[in-house]
């Protein structure tokens, strides 16, 4: 699964998004090989680069799993089996799966279902 071509078409030069569960605005900017998430201001200390192949793996992880619980609690360890748990195992820094899910949702790859409180699930479409 290659998510970058569709993300390029949807996001273009850059796009402001919001995390789905605990609303937090951020900007996503694409380059040839991945995305850069800017949380807060557009300075190097407030950004995270995620290569396209890692985004592909995150989307692929959801294949055949149905709804996977998101884990948006900022702590040292993610709850086992959550999207956050897999993201951390894939070397995505702590608490960024919420941002990645928003990007993949905007690209039409996943559906996010908000539940009561701070709970949500993410599911691959198709």
* Cβ atoms of 22 and 118 closer than 8 Å: yes
Token pair for 58: 């995150």
Q: Give the integer Cα–Cα distance in Å for 79 and 89.
A: 12
* Cβ atoms of 21 and 118 closer than 8 Å: yes
Q: Would you kindly state where each structural domain of the chain is located, as residue ranges?
A: 4-124
pTM: 0.89
State yes or no: pLDDT of 84 exceeds 90. Answer: no
**20-50, pLDDT tens digit by residue?**
877 889 999 998 899 999 987 777 777 889 9
What band does 73 get if pLDDT is binned at 50, 70 and 90?
A: low
More confident residue, 41 or 17: 17
Q: Per-residue pLDDT averaged across 103-109, rounded?
A: 95
């Amino acid at each position: 699964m290659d998510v970058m071509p569709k993300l390029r078409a949807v996001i273009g030069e850059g796009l402001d998004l919001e995390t789905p569960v605990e609303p937090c605005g951020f900007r996503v900017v694409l380059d040839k090989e991945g995305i850069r998430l800017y949380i807060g201001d557009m300075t190097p200390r407030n950004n995270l680069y995620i290569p396209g192949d890692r985004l592909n793996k995150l989307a692929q992880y959801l294949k055949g799993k149905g709804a996977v619980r998101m884990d948006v609690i900022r702590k040292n360890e993610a709850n086992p089996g959550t999207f956050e748990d897999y993201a951390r195992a894939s070397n995505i820094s702590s608490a960024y799966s919420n941002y990645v899910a928003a990007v993949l949702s905007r690209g039409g790859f996943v559906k996010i279902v908000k539940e009561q409180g701070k709970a949500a699930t993410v599911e691959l479409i198709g």
